[in-house]
Structure 1
C-alpha cells in the first residue's frame, strides 16, 4: 500500500503502520491486518501489480498516473474509489477515464454509503461497483465482499462515479442548512432537489445510457443521505456557515490534514456548466440567494449562498 510519507509524533507514518498496524493519523483506533505493508515509494508499491486500487484526492490523479504508467502489466485491472471529477479544456472528465487513458488498463469504480471508520469497525454497509466490463466488476466483488460489506455490481459505471462526486456538493448545501439552523424541512428540500439535479446532470454528461435505478443503489440515494447527515463535507460546511472561517482554515482544524472534495468539485462543476453554456438551461431559481434570517453572529444566508444548478450547490464564496 502506497502511503504519502508524513511525520506523526516524531515517527514516519509508514513505520507506524508497519510496526503498530494502525494508521494513527487518518484511521485511528482501528487495527490493520499485518499483511498490509505501507510503502513510501509509489513505483515500488505498484511494481508488477495485477490489481490496483486508487484512493487519493482527485486533484492528484494526473501526477500519480504519470508516475506509475509503464510499471504495471498491460492486463492489470484497476478500481477507483476517488470521489471527484476533472475539469479539462473540453469540459468534464471522469477520474476513471483519466486512469484508463493514461495507463491503458480497464478501470471499475466503487462508490457507496461507506463512512470509513464504520467500515473499519465492521458495521454493516452496502456499496456499488460500476464496471463497463461486468466480469471485472464481479471479480472485484468476489475479492472485496464480506458478510458486513455487501456489494452490488452494475454496468452503469459513469453514473456510479458521478454520484460519488456530486453528492459532496449537495452535502455542502446540507451543511449550510445546519449551520444556519434552517431546519429539517429545508434540509430535506435541499437533499431532494440535489438528487434530482444529480440525475439531470448525469443525463447530460454521461456518455452512455443513464439508468434511474442506479440512483437507488448505495452509490446514489444511500450515499447522499449518509454524506448529508454524517460526512465531513457537511460538518465543515456547517462550521463555515456558523464561524465565517475559510474552508482552508476549517480543513486544518477539523480534518487533520485531509482535503474536502465538495467545495473544489462545486467550483469545477460550475465552470464546466458555464463553459458549456448550460447554467441558464440547467439552473432552477436559487434555493437560497442572499435572503433569510441571520442565524449566527458571523454567518447568514448572504454569507454562504447556496444555488442549486441542476442539482448542484455552487459556492458563492471564493475558495
Structure 2
C-alpha cells in the first residue's frame, strides 16, 4: 500500500489511496460519480475526496469548476446528474495530482500528449494508472495504445477500462458491464492481483459489472476502433438502409477490428474481442447509440461536414471516431506493402474516405 504524505503526522488518512481523475467530460464525470460513491463506501482503502482535473471554462458567467463544486453537478457535460459531494473539481493539474496514488485518465485523446508533458515530474513514486481513453497514437508506421503511452511517459503501470459504456446510461445507474485490462503476464488468478483489487473496488457496482483480462492492448484497441464501425452504422441509419444492412456493417466491422488487432498487435487475444464487453459488446452499444453513430447519421441527412456537426451536436467537442479513422488510414497507408489481410481493411478505409475525402456515403459498401 502506498503511504500518504500525512503518515508522518500520524493522520487517519495515512496509507489511504487518493484518487485523481484526469478529465471532466461526460464519461469522466460519470466515472467520477462511481469512484466517489465507492471511495466513501471503502474508508479503510480510499481517501473520500476524489479530485477531478477540469479544464476551466465559462458556464453561464461562472467558472465551471466553481459551478461543479457548489452544485455537485457538471452541467456542461453531464447535466442533471449529482456526481457526489466528495468530488472536487480542480483547474490546476499539478494540484490535482499532488497527493494522488491512483490516476484515472479520461481526457480526449488528442490532448493526452500535452497532459502527460505537464504531468512530468509532478506525480509521486508508486502511482498506478488506468486509462479510459478510446483511440490510438499513430506516428508513421508505428501505432501505440494510450495505456502504453501513459506507462512509458510516466514510468508507471497503466491498466485500461473499456466496454459498452454509454456515459449517460452509466450515470443513471442503468445496468452495464465493462472490461478491465491489467498489465500482467500472469496466467493465474487475476482477481488476486493488487491492480485488480484497486480498480474493481473503485469502479464496480451492482449495476456496473467488471470482468478482468490480462490484455491491456486488446481492451484499448477494442474501445478505439469500434468508433469507426459506429460511424459506418450511422451512415447506414442516415441512408435508411435498414436492419439487415446495419447488421452486415457491424459484422464486417467486427471482423476488420478483430483481424487488425491480431495482425498488428500479436499480444492481443481473440477472446478479448469475442467474449468481452470491450469487444463485440461495445460495437453493439455504439452502433445503436452513442455520439459517433448520431453524428454520422446527421452527416448523411443534413449534408453538413464533421466540423459543423461537432459545433451543433457536440458543443464543439471532437468526434473521436473520425480522428481514429484518420489515424488508422495513415497507419495502413504507411504499412501498405506489408498488410497481410486479404483485401486489406475496406470498411475502415471507406469511413475515412467519407469523413475526409468527400466520398458519397452510398459507396460505403462498394468494396466490402
TM-score by length of 2: 0.77
Q: 2:242 aligns with which of 169, 178, 183?
A: 183
Q: Which residue of 2 aligns with 1:246?
A: 305
SS of the equivalent of 2:94 reads helix
* Count of residue correspondences: 301
Q: 1:236 aligns with which of 285, 295, 306?
A: 295
Q: Which residue of 2 aligns with 1:70?
A: 121
**Residue 257 of structure 1: CA displacement?**
2.7
Change (3 A) 1:202 1:289: closer
Residues 1:123 and 2:174 aligned together: yes
User: Which structure 2 segments of 5+ residues have no match?
Assistant: 1-51, 185-189, 351-357
Rounded to whole Å, the distance in 1 between the matches of 2:112 and 2:243 is 37
* Residues 104 and 132, structure 2, Cα contact 8 Å, conserved in 1: yes
Q: Which moved more, 1:105-114 or 1:269-278?
A: 269-278
Within a 5 Å distance, the mapping from 1:138-177 to structure 2 comes to 138-177=197-236
Change (3 A) 1:102 1:308: farther
Residues 1:40 and 2:91 aligned together: yes
* Residues 127 and 218, structure 1, Cα contact 8 Å, conserved in 2: yes
**Residue 307 of structure 1: CA displacement?**
6.4
SS of the equivalent of 2:237 reads helix
SS of the equivalent of 1:102 reads helix
Rounded to whole Å, the distance in 2 between the matches of 1:211 and 1:91 is 22
Within a 5 Å distance, the mapping from 1:1-319 to structure 2 comes to 1-133=52-184, 134=190, 135=193, 136-277=195-336, 278=338, 281-283=341-343, 302-303=360-361, 305-306=363-364
**Residue 43 of structure 1: CA displacement?**
1.0
Change (3 A) 1:279 1:107: same
Q: What is the root-mean-square deviation of aligned Cα atoms in Å?
A: 2.3
Change (3 A) 1:301 1:98: closer
**Residue 276 of structure 1: CA displacement?**
1.0
Q: Which moved more, 1:49-58 or 1:142-151?
A: 142-151
Change (3 A) 1:18 1:177: same
Runs of 4+ in 1 over 2 A off after TM superposition: 211-215, 278-290, 300-309
User: Which structure 1 segments of 5+ residues have no match?
Assistant: 291-299, 312-319
Q: Which moved more, 1:182-191 or 1:211-220?
A: 211-220
* Residues 262 and 269, structure 2, Cα contact 8 Å, conserved in 1: yes
Q: Which residue of 1 aligns with 2:34?
A: none
Q: Which residue of 1 aligns with 2:17?
A: none
**Residue 46 of structure 1: CA displacement?**
0.8
**Residue 208 of structure 1: CA displacement?**
1.3
SS of the equivalent of 2:240 reads coil
SS of the equivalent of 1:92 reads strand
Change (3 A) 1:305 1:87: farther
Rounded to whole Å, the distance in 2 between the matches of 1:258 and 1:288 is 22
Which one has the bigger helix percentage?
2
* Residues 172 and 234, structure 1, Cα contact 8 Å, conserved in 2: yes
TM-score by length of 1: 0.88
**Residue 124 of structure 1: CA displacement?**
1.1
